[in-house]
């Protein structure tokens, strides 16, 4: 145990960690990881998980499956029923994922922070096609998923998903060491912008950001495969009603989700940098007397629309966005 702790301490040395996880062919390594994780062989899977445990405190005790055919199955594991209770308070926006809270706070003049002294513009993060001004004066929270965490993410509130924008990019590591060294890192990396409206009242945005070794980000409410070599379309309008806590998709390895809320929202008590959260715990509080938080408000018409279990996208990459169908969208670093 002491030897393992010493090994991990060496790897956390800032210069060495940054060199090993960033000064490498990031995109090529990420594509390779996407291929390797899909190998279905018990020996390969068991050996990979054993190596994984050398680098992280991997805990599979609350996982639904206890045996895995591939590393991918372990990365994207489901949890046992009731393992992540969702805060039932309609005035609360719940955390969409297990995470460590990173930079968070107020959005001022279209600017937020990835780390102390490292600002970036919400307009650049959202991309040229999206107007991020609706969130100016609101609040944001950066949620970092480590590789050992539960990788699925969920709806933070009853809402209607209205639009997804895909932005191709790099795969820098998103750990605190890299965030203190690479300016505008989230704006450089591959990402998606998921815009939703909480029961017709307030805009909310989730921005899943890819990172090194994150071979895909999957969304269950669209039937399209997005990857670095795919030419488009990159604007995906949709209309999908989701319930608070409903699964939206998963990361294949671990990365970051940034949550944006408009003016009137506030961070819940105790949400500070370094806090560990579980999916479903309180993250933000809706404005007082907000109709979206009224339990008597009309619920979404069909809370299960477009959320059938993920299925592979069509091999030719064709897609249809006029009516969401069961399937999966994947923001992938693999061709």
Q: In the predicted model, is pLDDT for residue 324 greater than 60?
A: no
59 and 167: one domain? no
The percentage of residues in the chain with a pLDDT greater than 70, rounded to a whole number, is: 75
Residue 250 lies in a domain: yes
pLDDT score recorded for residue 201: 84
Q: Residues 103-111: what's their mean pLDDT? A: 97
Q: In the predicted model, is pLDDT for residue 311 greater than 80?
A: no
Residue 50 lies in a domain: yes
Q: In the predicted model, is pLDDT for residue 202 greater than 80?
A: yes
190 and 162: one domain? yes
Average model confidence (pLDDT) for the chain? 81
Q: Which of 154, 157, 202, 220 is catalytic?
A: 154
98 is catalytic: yes
In contact, 283 and 204? CB cutoff 8 Å: no
- Per the structure, how many domains does the chain have? 2
Q: Residues 115-127: what's their mean pLDDT? A: 96
Burial (CB < 10 A; 0-12, 13-18, 19+), residue 144, is buried
Q: Which of 98, 158, 170, 290 is catalytic?
A: 98
Residue 318 lies in a domain: no
Q: Residues 181-200: what's their mean pLDDT? A: 92
72 is catalytic: no
- Report the range of poorest mean pLDDT among 139-153, 291-305, 318-332: 318-332
Q: Is the dihedral of CA 145, 149, 155, 161 positive or negative?
A: positive
172 and 222: one domain? yes
Residue 243 lies in a domain: yes
Residue 34 lies in a domain: yes
Q: Using 50, 70 and 90 to split pLDDT, how confident is the model at 72?
A: confident
pLDDT score recorded for residue 333: 41
105 and 68: one domain? no
Residue 54 lies in a domain: yes
- Most distant pair of Cα atoms in the chain: their distance: 57
34 and 129: one domain? no
pLDDT score recorded for residue 290: 58
Q: What is the pTM of this model?
A: 0.81
pLDDT in tens, 131-155: 999 999 999 999 999 888 999 999 9
Given 75, 106, 127, the domain boundary residue is 75
Residue 263: half-sphere exposure toward Cβ, Cα within 13 Å: 7
- 113-121 — which CB contacts under 8 Å span 24+ positions? 114/142, 114/179, 114/184, 114/185, 114/186, 115/176, 115/179, 115/180, 118/179, 118/180, 118/183, 118/184, 118/185, 120/183, 120/184, 120/185, 120/186, 120/187, 121/187
pLDDT score recorded for residue 306: 41
145 and 23: one domain? no
Residue 158 lies in a domain: yes
10 and 124: one domain? no
26 and 129: one domain? no
Domain with 38 in it: 2-75
Given 75, 108, 139, the domain boundary residue is 75
47 and 171: one domain? no
pLDDT score recorded for residue 262: 97
User: Two tokens at 266?
Assistant: 């506030």
139 and 269: one domain? yes
Q: Using 50, 70 and 90 to split pLDDT, how confident is the model at 222?
A: confident
Distance CA 22, CA 53 (A): 21
118 and 233: one domain? yes
Who has greater pLDDT, 210 or 3? 210
pLDDT score recorded for residue 260: 98
Residue 10 lies in a domain: yes
Q: Which of 255, 290, 330, 332 is catalytic?
A: 255
Given 49, 75, 101, the domain boundary residue is 75
67 and 101: one domain? no
Distance CA 308, CA 110 (A): 36
163 is catalytic: no
């Amino acid at each position: 145990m002491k030897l393992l702790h010493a090994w991990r301490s060496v790897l956390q040395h800032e210069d060495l960690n940054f060199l090993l996880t960033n000064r490498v062919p990031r995109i090529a390594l990420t594509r390779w990881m996407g291929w390797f994780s899909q190998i279905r062989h018990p020996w390969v899977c068991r050996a990979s998980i054993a190596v994984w445990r050398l680098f992280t405190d991997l805990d599979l005790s609350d996982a639904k499956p206890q045996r895995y055919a591939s590393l991918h199955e372990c990365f994207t594991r489901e949890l046992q029923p009731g393992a992540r209770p969702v805060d039932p308070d309609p005035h609360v926006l719940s955390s969409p994922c297990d995470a460590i809270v990173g930079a968070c706070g107020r959005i001022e003049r279209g600017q937020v922070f990835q780390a102390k002294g490292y600002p970036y513009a919400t307009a650049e993060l959202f991309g040229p096609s999206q107007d991020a001004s609706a969130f100016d004066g609101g609040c944001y929270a950066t949620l970092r998923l480590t590789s050992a965490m539960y990788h699925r993410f969920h709806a933070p509130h009853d809402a209607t998903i209205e639009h997804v924008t895909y932005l191709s990019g790099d795969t820098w590591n998103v750990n605190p060491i890299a965030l203190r060294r690479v300016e505008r890192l989230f704006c450089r990396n591959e990402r998606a912008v998921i815009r939703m409206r909480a029961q017709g009242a307030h805009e909310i945005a989730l921005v899943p950001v890819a990172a090194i070794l994150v071979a895909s980000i999957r969304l269950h409410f669209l039937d399209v495969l997005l990857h670095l070599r795919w030419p488009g379309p990159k604007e995906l309008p949709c209309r999908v009603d989701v319930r608070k806590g409903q699964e939206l998709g998963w990361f294949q390895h671990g990365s970051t989700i940034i949550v944006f809320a408009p003016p009137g929202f506030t961070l819940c008590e105790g949400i500070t940098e370094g806090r560990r959260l579980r999916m479903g715990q309180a993250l933000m509080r809706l404005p007082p007397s907000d109709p979206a938080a009224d339990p008597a408000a009309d619920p979404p018409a069909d809370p299960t629309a477009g959320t059938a279990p993920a299925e592979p996208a069509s091999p030719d990459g064709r897609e249809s966005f006029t009516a969401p169908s069961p399937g999966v969208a994947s923001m992938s670093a693999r061709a």
